[in-house]
């Protein structure tokens, strides 16, 4: 039979460590060993009291200090966790690729627009009297000064 620590048992059962500890002290849950590292609980005993839940993506399947995974249930949970992480990473990569493709398309459109504008400006000679739309007009005469207006000389 596989044994797990108090922390790993809490993660497998989906409850807190204090809940497992209270169940041990009340006699609801039995343990096989008590070492300096803590309680060693058999998984079958844990399943009797608490149904085993699958771990979430953010939690590891077993504690890192418990050594290699030997239980088939733990292996299945670890495998499921790794598959979920792989799917999440693949989805994130797909989203990133889609955004990158959109940015590239925008860049190409802006580049084409800039090239078209530059070629339009280079094809026409520009003069100072030329208006915005290419129309030529005579420059406006300078406005009379203050003293000219005051003395009536326009």
pLDDT digits (tens, 9 = 90+) for 64-76: 445 565 678 888 8
Whether residue 92 is predicted with pLDDT greater than 60 in this model: the reply is yes
Range of the domain at 30: 1-122
Whole-number Cα distances in Å, 147 to 88, 97, 154 = 80, 70, 10
Whether residue 94 is predicted with pLDDT greater than 60 in this model: the reply is yes
Q: Is 144 part of a structural domain of the chain?
A: no
Q: Please, is 114 exposed, middle or buried when counting C-beta atoms within 10 Å of its C-beta (0-12, 13-18, 19+)? A: exposed
Q: Is 93 part of a structural domain of the chain?
A: yes
How far, in Å, CA of 64 to CA of 90, rounded? 26
| CB 43 within 8 Å of CB 64 | no
Q: Is 150 part of a structural domain of the chain?
A: no
pLDDT class of 57 with cuts at 50, 70, 90: very low
Please state the rounded mean pLDDT for residues 117-144: 68
pLDDT class of 61 with cuts at 50, 70, 90: very low
Give the pLDDT confidence score for residue 65 in this predicted structure: 47
Residue located via tokens 């280079």: 122
Q: Is 137 part of a structural domain of the chain?
A: no
Least reliable range by pLDDT among 21-35, 46-60, 91-105: 46-60
Q: Is 65 part of a structural domain of the chain?
A: yes
Q: Is 105 part of a structural domain of the chain?
A: yes
Percent of the chain with pLDDT over 90: 21
- Residue range 3-28, pLDDT digits in tens: 888 888 888 888 899 998 899 999 88
Whether residue 106 is predicted with pLDDT greater than 90 in this model: the reply is yes
Considering its fold, how many domains does the chain have in total?
1
Whether residue 89 is predicted with pLDDT greater than 50 in this model: the reply is yes
According to DSSP, residue 129 is labeled T
Q: Is 98 part of a structural domain of the chain?
A: yes
Q: Is 140 part of a structural domain of the chain?
A: no
How far, in Å, CA of 120 to CA of 107, rounded? 20
């Amino acid at each position: 039979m596989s044994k797990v620590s108090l922390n790993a048992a809490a993660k497998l059962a989906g409850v807190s460590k204090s809940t497992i500890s209270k169940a041990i002290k009340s006699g609801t849950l039995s343990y096989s060993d008590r070492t300096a590292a803590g309680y060693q609980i058999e998984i079958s005993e844990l399943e009797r009291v608490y149904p085993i839940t699958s771990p979430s993506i953010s939690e590891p399947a077993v504690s890192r200090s418990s050594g290699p995974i030997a239980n088939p249930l733990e292996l299945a949970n670890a495998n499921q966790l790794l598959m979920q992480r792989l799917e999440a990473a693949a989805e994130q990569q797909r989203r990133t690729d889609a955004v990158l493709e959109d940015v590239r398309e925008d860049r190409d459109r802006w580049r084409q627009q800039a090239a078209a504008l530059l070629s339009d400006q280079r094809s026409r000679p520009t003069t100072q009297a030329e208006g915005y739309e290419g129309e030529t007009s005579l420059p406006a005469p300078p406005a009379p000064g203050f003293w000219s207006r005051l003395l009536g000389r326009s």
